[in-house]
Structure 1
Amino acid sequence: MNAQGFIESATETTGLRDFGDDALFGGDGWRTGLDVLLDSLDHEANLHDMGQMVVHGEITQYLVNRLRIVDHHRRHPEIRDRDITPPIVIMGQARTGTTMLFDLLAQDPDHRVPQTWEVDQPLPPPRTATYLTDPRIAQTEATFELVDMVIPEFRAVHQLGAQLAQECVRITASHFVSAIFPTQYQVPSYLEWLLYTAQEDGHVAGSYTWHRRYLELLASEAPGNRWLIKTPFHCWTLPELMAEYPQAVLVQTHRDPAKVMASTTSLLATLRKLGTDDIDHPRMATEFFEFILGGLERSVDARTNGVVPADRVVDLQFGELMTDPIGAAKAVYAAFDWNFSADVEDAMKNFLRTHVREGHGHPYTFEATGLTLDAIRERTARYTAYFNVAEELS
């Protein structure tokens, strides 16, 4: 996989050549990230034939989107006049109820969420008048047919939908500094680069600048009152997040880290089938051990060193969120002094009635990870004590 080949394909498709290497678009870290990613895919991902096709299509589309977004910003600098802040940021680790909470809070019309269809195809900018009928919605739904064909069990693990809220990692993917890649593919070298080198070199900070440019474009003709965004990777990068969005308010979900590791490993095993037949649960658990548990540790650091002020964050325990999701939503609204109207509550209740909860029909065991419970307990003792997280496994 040659970066130059992908770049030439994207420039031929769009007729554009400006990838936004300047500070306005987060700098040139995208090219470094692309090179590291492609090298890792070549040498570590063990892609099958369909995986090769999926990767080529995704990488090309991310580059096409990047070219078009940069071009649109160059031609319409006025779209940066509307302030994005303060967004609501859901930042719990994977498999802690974040997706359900994300979709639940998205039922409030005051909350502007990046929906999957507009993240996948951001141009032309979505418009309020056609937001519910845009033809890109149907186009995006059609792409899920491949997932259903290759991984028919995937919807039992994680919901798919063109009009469901999409995570920030899909936005930063077109900056190639994103946790979406090690989630989808076996790219441990890229993950190592993402967690350490990219942060030290400022490329993670650049990805948040790119993130803002993306939201500015999406909001340019379909604005909202408050942005609602989410991804587990925010736990790892809170200094960069708060630097880009200093007025953000946050909601962090918490769950026994041992259950998080077990459920995440199972999710990875399911998701990666789209790219490879080389599925090894213990290897994936070891690969993601530091990513998940290190992120939890960093979330404690962000509280104790003041990066995340106490009055700007709400903590929700997984058990309480699953037992009483409406009550959890009310707690968020109360903490930030927002009006929880009867209409909003009805919309949330309707969503819960019509959508299966995260993890429904998703069997997994801790033993499949190959990890030892003592190692996880030792690594996360500070986190579980600080947030009073109950143990589900013993």
Structure 2
Amino acid sequence: MNPHPLSPTAEQLLARSREIADIELVDEEVVEPLTVLVRALNTEAKLDAEGARAYEAKFLRLLVNRLRMKRDFLAHPEIAEQEIAGPLVIMGVARSGTTKLQKVLAASGDFNFLTFWQNFNWASVSGTPGEPVDARIAEADAFCRWYDERSPETKLGHHFSALEPEEEGPLSEGCFVAPSFIGYAEMPSYAQWLADKPRSIFFAFLRDVLKYLQWQGLAVPGRPWLLKSPNYNGHEAAIREVFPNVRFVVANRSPVETLASMCKLLRCFRTAYGSPEVDNAMIVEGNYRAMEAHLANRAAHPEIPILDLRFQDIVGALPATIERIYAHAGMALTPSSRERILAWNAANAMHKHGEFRYSLGDAGLEEAVIRERMARYFELLERLDAA
């Protein structure tokens, strides 16, 4: 395959986004990361023609959303005064049940949460609270259908749906300092650039977006927020700095299962943009380091409010698991909330869209190496099993 570069330069993307938004603000914060990303995509990512077009559309959408948000924060300083309740953050190794936890808790009606379309188009078009959002939803839905067509197997591992709860990965791209970009294309130079950047950049951006959504009338002030990402391991301190009242729910599962699944899912993610190639060694090394940072934070700060859950409890003992989560969050689990949670669970059985198949061998991974590199995490798993 002959790689296809993006047609516009970073400067041209910035100029075009100002034209689309009809906003003449200069978004200085995004110039450097956008430039690094465009260079990496053009020289490393091996996009096909449709993948390059999709990335151009992605960048324009993100830049336009940023401009609209900046416009509204300048015109309405009261947005910054919105208070964020909670949040309750679901995290853990990828492929450990975090998505199921997010969706069953969202079904309760007790939390604010981000749908895919809110991650995708978080900014108001008109700058007026309460505006119709049909067009914003439709654009997100079209993207989800595009993804299903370009990489059909993705939905077996992670199904994108405009109206469903979604982790903050798509939103994180809006600050342009985000590991999620690496999930969709091989970009070692961007990964190296990103390594030196504090994750607090995104968490501050996330806080502002949550305030902005409340101001738009798309979330209920005072209701706790439910957040989720497997990319938060090791960043507990940065999250607590921005959200001092945060409480964490950590999903735990053997890396012998999760790493192979994650490598397969990344191949599916990248297929949509043209090349399924994944440097599994780099991805797995990043997971090793993130888990070591997570365990180090727990040891150094035992006061961090963490509830550990095992994968088998999430998929096999959900009623009791939900009760533990509500107790950890300091919330009352009402009969109606419990009923909504269990109804969602009954309607969304595991492998609903088909079984997602993967293996250590296909990913080029060895169980002995995983167990050696993540020995401290396996010790935690043993303690959880014995409890």
Is residue 2:367 matched to residue 1:367?
Answer: no
Q: 1:175 to 1:139 in 2, by over 3 A?
A: closer
**Structure 1 residue 46 corresponds to structure 2 residue 46:** yes
Match of 1:8 in 2: 15
Cα offsets for 1:267-307 (capped at 9, x unmatched): 01111111123x34xx431120122121111111111111x
The answer as to 2:82 corresponding to 1:87 is: no
Residue aligned with 1:276, SS: coil
- Counterparts in 2 of 1:236 and 1:187: CA distance versus 1, 3 Å: farther
Given that 1:102 and 1:230 are in contact with CA atoms closer than 8 Å, whether structure 2 keeps it comes out as yes
3-state SS of 2:227 partner: strand
The correspondence for 1:321, drawn from 314, 317, 323, is 314
Contact 2:288-2:373 at 8 Å conserved across structures: yes
Change in CA separation of 1:385 and 1:358 when aligned onto 2, cut-off 3 Å: farther
Whole-Å separation in 2 of the counterparts to 1:139 and 1:10: 16
Contact in 1 for aligned 2:92/2:233 (Cα 8 Å): yes
User: Residue 300 of structure 2 aligns to which amino acid in structure 1?
Assistant: N
Q: Which residue of 1 aligns with 2:117?
A: 117
For residues 372 and 227 of structure 1, the distance between their equivalents in structure 2, rounded to whole angstroms, comes to: 39
Aligned ranges 1:105-254 → 2 under 5 Å: 105-124=105-124, 134-194=134-194, 196-199=195-198, 204-220=199-215, 221-224=217-220, 225-254=223-252
2:3 is matched with which residue? none
Indicate the residue corresponding to 1:24 in structure 2: none
Q: Which amino acid aligns with 2:94?
A: A
| Gap runs ≥5 in structure 1 | 22-27
Look up the match of 1:303. 298
Give 1:136 shift: 3.3
Measure how far apart 1:113 and its partner are. 0.2
- After superposition, the Cα gap between the structure-2 partners of 1:327 and 1:197, relative to the gap in structure 1 and judged at 3 Å, is same
C-alpha deviation, 1:82, in angstroms: 1.7
Change (3 A) 1:206 1:134: same
What is the aligned-residue RMSD (CA, Å)?
A: 2.4
Tell me the alpha carbon deviations over residues 297-324 of structure 1, each in whole angstroms, 9 at most, x when there is no partner: 1111111111x624x2111111221112
CA distance in 2, matches of 1:107, 1:19: 40
1:20-59 residue pairs with structure 2 within 5 A?
Answer: 21=28, 28=29, 30-59=30-59
CA distance in 2, matches of 1:302, 1:358: 34
* Counterpart residue identity of residue 157, structure 1: G
Q: Given that residues 251 and 313 in structure 1 are in contact (C-alpha distance below 8 angstroms), is that contact kept between their aligned partners in structure 2?
A: yes
Change (3 A) 1:161 1:130: farther
Q: What secondary structure does 1:246 align onto?
A: coil
Alpha-carbon distance in 1 for matches of 2:253, 2:227: 20
Secondary structure at 1:198 match in 2: coil
* Stretches of structure 2 lacking an aligned partner (at least 5 in a row): 1-5
- Deviations along 1:301-356, whole A, 9 cap, x unmatched? 111111x624x211111122111223222211122331111111111122122224
Q: Give the distance between the partners of 1:378 and 1:335, measured in 2 at CA.
A: 32
**Structure 1's 335 and 208: CA in aligned 2 closer, same or farther, altered over 3 A?**
closer
> CA, structure 1 residues 358+124, in 2 after alignment: closer, same or farther (shift >3 Å)?
farther
Q: Summarize deviations over 1:3-35 as a string: whole Å, max 9, x none.
A: 1111111111112233555xxxxxx3x333222
Number of equivalenced pairs: 373
- Alignment partners' CA distance in 2, 1:15 and 1:336: 43
The runs of 4+ residues in structure 1 deviating greater than 6 Å are 125-131
- Describe how 1:336-355 pairs up with structure 2 within 5 A: 336-355=329-348
Shift of 1:258: 2.1
Deviation at 1:387, TM superposition (A): 4.5
The equivalent of 1:25 in structure 2 is none
Would the alpha carbon gap of residues 376 and 158 (structure 1) be closer, same or farther in structure 2, given more than 3 Å must change? same
Q: Distance in 2 between matches of 1:110 and 1:322?
A: 21
**SS in structure 2 at match of 1:214:** helix
**Change in 2 beyond 3 A, CA 1:127/1:249:** farther
